Amino acid sequence: PRDTEGNKPWNVANYWAPELHYIDGRWYIYYTAGRPTSEFGGHYYSQRSGVLRAKSSDPFGEWEDMGMLYTGDHYTEGIVPTLENTEYFAIDLNVMEINGTLYAVWSGNPVGSTTQSLFIAEMKDPCTIGSNRVKLSDPDQPWELLTSTIQEGPAMIKHGNKAFIVYSCNPSWTKNYRLAWLMLDMNDGDPMNPADWQKSSNYAFWRCDNTKEPVSGVNGLGHCTFTKSPDGTEAWIVYH
């Protein structure tokens, strides 16, 4: 999108974190975008999450922008998401189906805070969030607070009756960026109840290359996704 006279779309700059999903026979891309930071004093306050939908079964064909997703605290039926009625900084949105219901999980700011926390909401369909956001997790462990107060990049994976949200903590541009997880028992857990998600006792994946300061090593290790090996026998992690 581009600005035109009398129309300033919400998603003209700073495209981040595309997530490609195949849901009920359609392709979707969830993404982060916003207005130019020059309009907000150099800050990324306008970053929100949106979704694209493929017009056919071919992911290399045409796509349509289905708009911003609602990531606020005052949901009403039929609400049209805007920068004003969604809480600022809603990024890295990803989706996961649990027991027949689709959920959105993203990184955002609690009201009045600069901390990045993880939020969840129930979806009516792949293009529509149908509930208020619920805060699942804050960065509150020593290994999450080495450099800053950031949880972001949620990636979902299931194993047996467990659902996992694997997330990044600490700033992505530092050696302290690493992965941890939240786990839900899908047999008796409620995805919208934060108390039903168990946080890992420590980080699960981090910079481990035997280098010491000031030697440069493998930095910024996080924001992952999961996929299967070509023969389907292995689960693979892909990370930055």
**Cα 122 to the chain's mean position, in Å?**
14
pTM over 0.85: yes
CA distance 70 to 79: 8
Q: What confidence score (pLDDT) does residue 234 get?
A: 94
Give which of 26, 77, 99 is closest to 56, Cα–Cα: 26
153-197 per-position pLDDT tens digit: 999 999 999 999 999 999 998 888 999 999 999 999 999 999 999
Q: Show the CA angle centred on residue 188, arms to residues 187 and 194, nearest 5°.
A: 120
Q: What is the DSSP string of 132-159?
A: --EEEE---SGGG-SSS-BEEEEEEEEE
